[in-house]
Chain A
Amino acid sequence: MRSKLAISIRNLTKKFGEFTAVDNLNLEIKSGEFFSMLGPSGSGKTTVLRMIAGFELPTNGEIFLYDEEVTTKAPFDRDVNTVFQDYALFPHLNVVENVEYGLRVRKVGKAERRIRAMAALEKVHLADFSERKPSQLSGGQRQRVALARAIVVQPKILLLDEPLGALDLKLREKMQIELKELQRELGITFIFVTHDQDEALTLSDRIAIFNNGKIEQIGTPQDLYQRPATEFVARFVGTANVFDGEAAQALFGTSSKVMIRPEQVELGSKGSQATIVETIYLGSTFRFILDLNGHQIIAEVSASDDQAKTYRRGATVKVNMSKTDLVKLD
């Protein structure tokens, strides 16, 4: 696919009274991308999504969808569709009528809209439930109906506002795979809002990390994990050992703020002596919380490592952190 811009956001600001929810934001999303907006609650990611959909009007700035300015256009005049966090299914309509809704308001004929709605339900594996009312469905099924309802009108861009937030872990993981497959199959741009970093890492081509109404960093999941630009990103995506000032000076002889991931901390053969403060078994790995001359360090070792199995709380162990694994933070 040609790398055309699906969305271009320029100097976008949104204020609710005194509170600045989105602060002078710039963002470009390529056509066909699976793009995630990741951040803690209140970081402005949902507000940005709602402004792209047209539910909120920006205080300042511009939004372009495929080079067409839509900043102040109503939602029904925008070629985007939204999958809502709590599904927002119409309670008085059954499943297939819900899915047909967008076609009905576009005056698509009765026969055709039924065929297209059933095809969309087929895609989300819900064809057998077409006559049920939303109240008779489980959370995961409602989620699929919401998805079918949004894709049946063939938007160029699909906005997903924490769509899996209300599902339990197993179902969430299953839906993540289905979402990814659906996006590949449809070839349209997905913009996905989440506060779950695992979900964002699993699904996305690129991720924007939100904090206090600004974007801290945009990059591929690998970029963000391996080369976080700020301490916030380092800590929000995965687990990080961040050293600053005195600690950085003492451990690595540098005056800048640095980070190292727990799995890059080597235990055992060489390095300085540290005390094991806590051991945590995580299934595939052991996590050790260590005390190295008063500095806390988190290390992670594969659970199949025979030596790691012998480490006990209170014991001492040699810790080595290679300078080449250090990442300098802003």
Chain B
Amino acid sequence: MTKNSAVAGEDFPSTPARRISSYLYKNAKVRLRLLIAAPVFWLGLVYIAALVMLLITAFWTVDEFTGNTKVNWNIDNIVSLFTDPLYTKVTLRTIGIALAVTVVDILLALPIAFFMSKVAGPKLRNILAISVLLPLWASYLVKAYAWRSVLSNTGVLEWILKPLGLQTPGYSLFGAAITLGYMWLPYVILPIYGGLEKVPSNLLEASSDLGAKTFTTVRKVIFPIILPSIIAGSIFAFSLTLGDYITINIVGGPNQMLGNLIYTNVGTANNLPMAAALALIPIGIMFAYLGAVKRTGALNNL
């Protein structure tokens, strides 16, 4: 068949492929459902089913004699989350560290992202972008152990701080918070940088032109516009800290966070139902956090 046949008024041959194509073309709903079927199937199976299993396991117990998980419906695990002082203490501590890491990361990310977006030339901006991304390409474990070395009593930090009459925080909650802040910083910088990229420079000029000093411009123009990006970054830093269990083990000394408490329950303690119950805490906190964020209306402009 030549290219001109349609022009000449001839019909295309009615092949099955052509019939399917024209059917799909006419039926947008069918087309859409076929398109989305595979991802929905995958999400449903792998993601939601796994989460549901987790939720269910939390209501079971462990046979103390055999060590096997027993289907014996009860809410003891959930109750102990709220009554056992160890769990409440670790939960509050984890939230505290997550909040501190989030706030510090935002405070560090804002000027870096602003400099990258509005001050640096294209060359310097690329160098900075790569510097921000580079740590993400290195193994998480390697970075944690690098900080273990930095924080150690004979490490770089001690060497720098000693002449100033200070000393390294060592392997402690503070040390863990510093390390976590370092780990998640790129995840906070990148969305804020993306948000700032969408603020045209002439908005800043217009604000200044209308009499606003620099700080007023930041507060009344830049901040409201990039608030959704800051929140996106905060979700990363906050949720990743809530779930972390490696950093606290490597640089946290004997201290516990929710993550390694769950890890201990899965491993050493062999109490999968308790681990599942504990895992519900960060999920619950994240839901509460997202709900609070949504109420501020900051997500409307996403």
What residues make up the interface of A, taking CB atoms closer than 8 Å to B?
Answer: 53-55, 74-76, 80-82, 84, 86, 88-92, 101-102, 104-106, 149-150, 153
Bitwise interface map of B from 206 to 237 toward A, beta carbon under 8 Å scored 1, else 0:
11111111001000110011000000000000
Looking at the complex, which of B75-83, B94-102, B197-205 is the stretch in contact with chain A? B197-205
Which A residues lie within 8 Å of B202 (CB)? Answer: 84, 86, 88
Number of interface residues of B (CB under 8 A): 18
Q: Which 4 A-B pairs have the closest CB atoms?
A: A102-B210, A88-B206, A88-B202, A75-B208
- Of all chain A residues, the one with the shortest Cβ separation from B206 is A88
- Of all chain A residues, the one with the shortest Cβ separation from B213 is A76
B296 touches A (CB below 8 Å)? no
Which B residues lie within 8 Å of A88 (CB)? Answer: 200, 202-203, 205-206
A61 to B213, CA, bound (A): 25
Q: A92-B301, A105-B220 are in contact. Are A153 and B203 (CB under 8 A)?
A: no
Contact of B225 among A75, A82, A91, A101 (CB under 8 A): A91
Contact of A82 among B209, B212, B301 (CB under 8 A): B209
Contact of A101 among B205, B210, B213, B301 (CB under 8 A): B210
Q: Given A90-B206, A92-B224, A105-B211, 19 other A-B contacts at CB below 8 A?
A: A55-B208, A74-B208, A76-B211, A82-B206, A84-B206, A86-B202, A88-B200, A88-B202, A88-B203, A88-B205, A88-B206, A90-B203, A91-B225, A92-B225, A92-B301, A104-B220, A105-B220, A106-B211, A150-B209
In the complex, which of the residues A80, A102, A150, A153 has the most CB atoms of chain B within 10 Å of its own CB atom?
A: A102
Contact (Cβ within 8 A) A53 B209: yes
A299 to B301, CA, bound (A): 58
Shortest CB-to-CB span from A17 to chain B, Å, is 11
Contact (Cβ within 8 A) B207 A101: yes
CB within 8 Å of A: which B269-286 residues? none
CB within 8 Å of A: which B171-220 residues? 200, 202-203, 205-213, 216, 220
A81 to B206, CA, bound (A): 9
A91 to B220, CA, bound (A): 12
Contact (Cβ within 8 A) B212 A105: yes
Q: A88-B200, A92-B225, A105-B220 are in contact. Are A55 and B205 (CB under 8 A)?
A: yes
In the complex, which of the residues A74, A75, A80, A86 has the most CB atoms of chain B within 10 Å of its own CB atom?
A: A75
- Of all chain B residues, the one with the shortest Cβ separation from A106 is B211
Which A residues lie within 8 Å of B200 (CB)? Answer: 86, 88
Which A residues lie within 8 Å of B210 (CB)? Answer: 76, 81, 101-102, 105, 149-150, 153
